[in-house]
Each structure stands twice: as structure tokens, then as C-alpha cells.
């Protein structure tokens, strides 16, 4: 390795390109004055204060093309983002509901919520987008890593079986950490989207996975009845298999959203939400439920809650739960 040249003032770039002293850059300058806009040079080499997030709109250096384009993108997308966070539920099975008046039978899926709590929130300022991280169920502390335990301890909630981030439209939709979300978060008659993993089918052939036709059973055919056939042309198409060619492979167990399912029943006592029709996935799979994206926002019509149970209730519940023996309340992680 050649010896590095000594760092001297003479070797630094011209004065105009020299970094602004950190003490100056720290102070957010009023935009009207905007001294940084008059600095000549390449913007990307200007020093960026690391203590201020690049998503922070008060940070003058955050007015970079990246931040602006992200802002614009979020603004464009905002009308498709839900006004409220969603919850995580477990699919328990299907049944039907009869209307006693008309006798109409409605097939439905029964979902059960379990200890949905807000574990963290993501803000536009710090993370660049708004989201609510919701936890589901309970996991043994022995089965958590120390960083996970620290994350839960910071939120003052018990370790969760599953975490999911629900994107929301703006900061108003962010909820206090630790808040408990029950089925009454949804109202009967409203529409929701459910997102869950479909049933896994394992490694399947082209006929089952993509609906290929297969080959004839007879007419001199031997041993190839369900094969996928040709994978593409020869020289004309480059003598290669084109990207995205449908082939045999693992089928199912992939995320699938079903939009606009009507909520038929809400049972706060037993944690039950009943939705119209079917939801992807096997029984006991986890389902994310959120307000329907493609329906008008019905908060006022249906009286949808925008704030969950008060935090006092959460604490109360925790105290009651603490009285019951649930295992080690305190864990020394080194053990």
C-alpha cells in the first residue's frame, strides 16, 4: 500500500467547495434567508447534519431531491392509505349467518383478535412515513432475542407472537404506544381488506400451478402427460428462457389480499370479528385486517373509533393479568 499523503490545507478543494462548519449547519435557518441555496457547488458534497434526519422537513439539508420526491410520492399515494391502523387476527374457520327476515344465508369467516397492542409508531419526521406497528398474541420471553425483548420493554408491552406495520395516512392516525385494539375497532356493516398467506401447496407442476394444458393422453404419447412442454423459442428468441417464464415450483403460501369484505358481526367480549365470504389461508393463519382502501371513508356514518381504549384500561388489564400466573415475569437473558 502506498503511503497516504499527509492531509494538509493545501490539498483540500477550493474555498467555495469547502464544507460548511458543522456549527453553522446545525442551526435550522429560516427558509426566507436560505443561505445554503446560495452556496455554489455540488449539493451532494455539502455536509449533512447526521443528528437531524434526512426526512425531517425542518432540516434545511433535507430539502434534497430525494426528500422532495418522497414527499410528493407520499402525497400522491395518500388517498389510498387508510385513515386508521389495522389489526392482526387469527382465522378460526367458516360458518354461515342467516337473516331471520329474508332467510338469506351468508357464508362468513370467523376471525379472532388476541391482545392487539401498539408496539411502536413510525413518523414522517423520523422514518419518512407514518405507520403503526401492532403486535398480536403473546410469545414466551425465552423464545425472544434480547433486542426483541428490549423493543417490547421500551413499549411497556409483553412480548408478541407477531408484529406488523400498518401504514396510515397521516400523523393523526398514530396511536399511543401500548394501546389495546379490540374488535370494536371495527363496526358492523363497514368494509375491510384482509391480507393473509394462501394455503401452501408445496412443489407443484405447471398444470396445477399455472393451468397449463398438459399433453394428450394418447395419440402415441408416452410418459409426458403433465409436463410443461417447451420453455421458449430457439434462435429467434435468443436461445434462452425468458425471465418470468411460468414453470413448476412452489405454489401458494404467498400473501393475498381480499378487498371489500363486509363486517357482519363484532363480539368484543370474545374477540371475534365475522366477515362476509372467505379469507385466504388455512385455519389458524394470521390475517391482517384494515379498513377497505377502495371504499369511501365511513368514519362519521358508522361512528368508527379513531382512538382505542384508554391507556388506563391497558394498565388495569396488565395488573389483572399480572395477578394470574403466566410464567416468568422477569427474565435474565444471559441465562
Partner 1 sequence: MAAQRRWHTIIPRDQLSNPPEGIPVTWLKPRKKLSKIYVHPPPRSMPKKCPDPVGVVTASQLATLDSSGARARLFDKENTEGVRVGDVLHVRMREGEPVSGVCLNIRRRGVETAILLRNQLTRVGVEVWVKVFSPLVQSVEIVQRRVRRARRARLYYMRQPKHDMGSVEGLVRTYLRQRAVLGSGGKGAAEMLGKKGKGKGKKK
Partner 2 sequence: MIQLKTLLNCIDNSGAAIVECIKVLRMERAARVGDRIIVVVQKQRNFGPESGPGGSVSISAANKVRRGDIRHAVVVRTAKKTQRKDGTVVRFDDNACVLINKNGEPIGSRFNGVVGRELRDKQWSKILSLAPMHV
* Chain contacts with partner 2 (rule: CB under 8 A): 96, 98, 102-105
- Provide the grid cell at 232: 421458449
Query: Which among partner 2, partner 1, none contacts residue 243 (Cβ within 5 to 8 A by kind)?
Result: none
Q: How far is the CB of 43 from partner 1 (least distance, A)?
A: 43
Q: How far is the CB of 272 from partner 1 (least distance, A)?
A: 5
Q: Does 248 bind partner 1 (CB under 8 A)?
A: no
Q: Does 263 bind partner 1 (CB under 8 A)?
A: no
Q: Does 189 bind partner 1 (CB under 8 A)?
A: no
Sign of torsion, CA 318 182 185 122? Answer: positive
Q: How far is the CB of 88 from partner 1 (least distance, A)?
A: 12
Q: Does 141 bind partner 1 (CB under 8 A)?
A: yes
Residues 71 to 100 in contact with partner 1, rule: CB under 8 A: 90, 92-100
Residue 152's SS3 state is helix
Please count the other Cβ atoms lying within 10 Å of the Cβ belonging to residue 199. 14
Contacts for 280-284 with beta carbons within 8 Å, 24 or more apart?
280/194, 280/196, 280/197, 280/198, 280/199, 280/256, 281/91, 281/196, 281/197, 281/198, 281/199, 281/256, 282/91, 282/199, 283/91, 283/92, 283/93, 284/90, 284/91, 284/92
Q: How far is the CB of 93 from partner 1 (least distance, A)?
A: 4
Indicate which single residue of 74, 272, 285, 311 sits in contact with partner 1 (rule: CB under 8 A). Answer: 272
136/191 with CB nearer partner 1: 136
Q: Does 322 bind partner 1 (CB under 8 A)?
A: yes
Single out the segment in contact with partner 1 by CB under 8 A; choices: 75-83, 148-156, 220-228, 287-295. Answer: 148-156
Residue 65's SS3 state is helix
* 253: CB partners within 8 A, 6+ apart: 197, 198, 199, 200, 201
Indicate which single residue of 158, 168, 228, 286 sits in contact with partner 1 (rule: CB under 8 A). Answer: 158
Q: Does 210 bind partner 1 (CB under 8 A)?
A: no
70/112 with CB nearer partner 1: 112
DSSP 158: -
Q: Does 190 bind partner 1 (CB under 8 A)?
A: no
Residue 164 CA to residue 119 CA, distance in Å, equals: 9
E strand or H helix that includes residue 124: helix 124-127
Radius of gyration of the chain (CA): 28
Nearest Cα to 256, choosing from 301, 296, 288, 218?
A: 288
Q: How far is the CB of 120 from partner 1 (least distance, A)?
A: 14
DSSP 329: S
Q: How far is the CB of 107 from partner 2 (least distance, A)?
A: 9
Q: How far is the CB of 172 from partner 1 (least distance, A)?
A: 26
Single out the segment in contact with partner 1 by CB under 8 A; choices: 30-38, 145-153, 207-215, 248-256. Answer: 145-153
Residues at the contact surface with partner 1, assessed by CB under 8 A: 90, 92-101, 103, 105, 108, 110-115, 117, 138, 141, 146, 149-150, 152-153, 156-159, 180, 265, 267, 269-272, 274, 314, 317-318, 320-322, 324, 326, 328-334
Amino acid at each position: 500500500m502506498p503511503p497516504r499523503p499527509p492531509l494538509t490545507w493545501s490539498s483540500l478543494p477550493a474555498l467555495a467547495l469547502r464544507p460548511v462548519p458543522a456549527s453553522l449547519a446545525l442551526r435550522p435557518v429560516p427558509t426566507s434567508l436560505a443561505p445554503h441555496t446560495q452556496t455554489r457547488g455540488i449539493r451532494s458534497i455539502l455536509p449533512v447534519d447526521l443528528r437531524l434526519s434526512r426526512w425531517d422537513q425542518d432540516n434545511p439539508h433535507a430539502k434534497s431531491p430525494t426528500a422532495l420526491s418522497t414527499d410528493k410520492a407520499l402525497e400522491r399515494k395518500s388517498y389510498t392509505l387508510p385513515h386508521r391502523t389495522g389489526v392482526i387476527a387469527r382465522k378460526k374457520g367458516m360458518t354461515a349467518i342467516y337473516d331471520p327476515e329474508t332467510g338469506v344465508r351468508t357464508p362468513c369467516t370467523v376471525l379472532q383478535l388476541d391482545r392487539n397492542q401498539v408496539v411502536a409508531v413510525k413518523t414522517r419526521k423520523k422514518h419518512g412515513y407514518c405507520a403503526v406497528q401492532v403486535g398480536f398474541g403473546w410469545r414466551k420471553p425465552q423464545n425472544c432475542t434480547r433486542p426483541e425483548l428490549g423493543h417490547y420493554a421500551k413499549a411497556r408491552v409483553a412480548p408478541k407472537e407477531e408484529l406488523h406495520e400498518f401504514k396510515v395516512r397521516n400523523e393523526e392516525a398514530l396511536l399511543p404506544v401500548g394501546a389495546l385494539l379490540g374488535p370494536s375497532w371495527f363496526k358492523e356493516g363497514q368494509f375491510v381488506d384482509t391480507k393473509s398467506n394462501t394455503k401452501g401447496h408445496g412443489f407443484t407442476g405447471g398444470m396445477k400451478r399455472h393451468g397449463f394444458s398438459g399433453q394428450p393422453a394418447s395419440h402415441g404419447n408416452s410418459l409426458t402427460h403433465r409436463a410443461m412442454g417447451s420453455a421458449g423459442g430457439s434462435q429467434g428468441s435468443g436461445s434462452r428462457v425468458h425471465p418470468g417464464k411460468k414453470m413448476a415450483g412452489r405454489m401458494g403460501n404467498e400473501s393475498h389480499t381480499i378487498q371489500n369484505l363486509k363486517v357482519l358481526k363484532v363480539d368484543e367480549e370474545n374477540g371475534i370479528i365475522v366477515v362476509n365470504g372467505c379469507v385466504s389461508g388455512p385455519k389458524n393463519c394470521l390475517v391482517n385486517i384494515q379498513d377497505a382502501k377502495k371504499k369511501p371513508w365511513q368514519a362519521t356514518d358508522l361512528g368508527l373509533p379513531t382512538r382505542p381504549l384508554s391507556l388506563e384500561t391497558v394498565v388495569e388489564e396488565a395488573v389483572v393479568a399480572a395477578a394470574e400466573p403466566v410464567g416468568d415475569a422477569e427474565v435474565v437473558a444471559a441465562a
